[in-house]
Amino acid sequence: MENNIAYHIPVLFNECIDALQINPAGTYVDVTFGGGGHAREIFSRLNEHGKLIVFDQDPDARQNAWEAPNFHFVPTNFSFLKNHLRLLNIKQIDGLLADLGVSSHQFDEAERGFTIRENAALDMRMNQNAELSAYKVVNTYDEAALTSIFRNYGELSNARLLAQEIVLKRVEKPIETTSELMSILSRFAPKFKDHKFYAQVFQSIRIEVNQELEVLKSLLEQATEMLAPKGRLVVISYHSLEDRLVKNYMKRGSFEGEIQKDFFGNVLKPLNEVVRHPIVPSEEEIQRNTRARSAKLRIAERNVG
Ligand SMILES: C[S@@+](CC[C@H](N)C(=O)[O-])C[C@H]1O[C@@H](n2cnc3c(N)ncnc32)[C@H](O)[C@@H]1O
């Protein structure tokens, strides 16, 4: 059980572990196992009655797993949380950690196409067995769909122009690589801010390929159902679209941020926030690990009633 920091350096490590308030005999779930940095620490705090279940949809993450009777690696998307916990005969959990997004390993493996720094086939799948890839999105989605992805997931103001350009260019020949995509869009990249522009384009395609917002919504609902009263939900997000969903759900019990009420006017809110404002990494952590810079940690507790 060695720490694999070459694979990924865990972000907000102590903050996440403290947030979970680990009961040594409790049942915990880490739905984004990755390099297993957080998971290893959670596991080390459990006794023989405690259990840790981890999920990762990337088959590469399995190399960081270990063998133990009270540890279980589930190689699948966390949107199947409830099903798999049921299969493992787990009816309630005491805490769940989600450290969303892509691991350093996934970024660093150039051929997976997540990074703007190196040329690779258009892929961006976290699960390499999935059907939908960046190639499919870029080469088969119509102009309206591409516009909506760039606008809603990339928050790009010239979304329609970008979509039009892609649709125009792919008629000549399919767009196969990250460099081809960047060169097609290069005339829209603002001077001195081109890095940010390409990062937004890549982020938007990645969110679509992995259906990141849809699976996050499903996870938040399922996690809430599975949590024991006072059980902890601990989520790190890395972009504002994810953070907005987590924030609204934890504060108001809905993704749009509207307060839900029952027939009698009682507020329906399954979670209570433990901290009102998100916890962010210290300057020192960001210096040590630049990938922590956009992290936001939110913590909520399951209502008793
Ligand atoms: C930021 S890394 C987690 C790093 C981990 N906390 C650590 O300390 O090493 C995110 C991981 O979650 C996985 N992941 C992201 N979305 C997922 C999903 N919907 N279902 C399952 N795994 C997912 C990715 O494949 C990646 O390995």
Span from the CA of 165 to the centroid of ligand 1 (angstroms): 33
Q: 161-220 pLDDT, tens per residue?
A: 999 999 999 999 999 999 999 999 999 999 999 999 999 999 999 999 999 999 999 999
Span from the CA of 75 to the centroid of ligand 1 (angstroms): 11
pLDDT for res 276:
92
Mean pLDDT across 37-60: 97
Question: Within a 10 A sphere around the Cβ of 291, how many other Cβ atoms?
Answer: 17
Span from the CA of 69 to the centroid of ligand 1 (angstroms): 23
pLDDT for res 76:
96
Element (H, E) at 284: helix 283-288
Ligand 1 closest atom vs CA 215: 19
pLDDT for res 221:
97
Domains in the chain (CATH in brackets) are: 13-104+212-302 (3.40.50.150), 131-209 (1.10.150.170)
99 lines ligand 1 (CB under 6 A): yes
pLDDT band at 3 (very low <50, low <70, confident <90, very high): low
pLDDT for res 1:
59
Span from the CA of 89 to the centroid of ligand 1 (angstroms): 23
Element (H, E) at 237: strand 227-237
> Is the pLDDT at 249 greater than 80, yes or no?
yes
Cα dist from 201 to 143, 157, 158, 170, whole Å: 15, 11, 11, 17
Return mean pLDDT, the chain. Answer: 95
Identify the sign of the CA torsion 23, 25, 30, 31. Answer: negative
Could you tell which of 33, 210, 216 is best to mutate to test the pocket of ligand 1, judged by most ligand atoms within 8 Å of the CB? 33
Measured at the CA of 73, the angle between CA 68 and CA 74, to 5 degrees, comes to 150
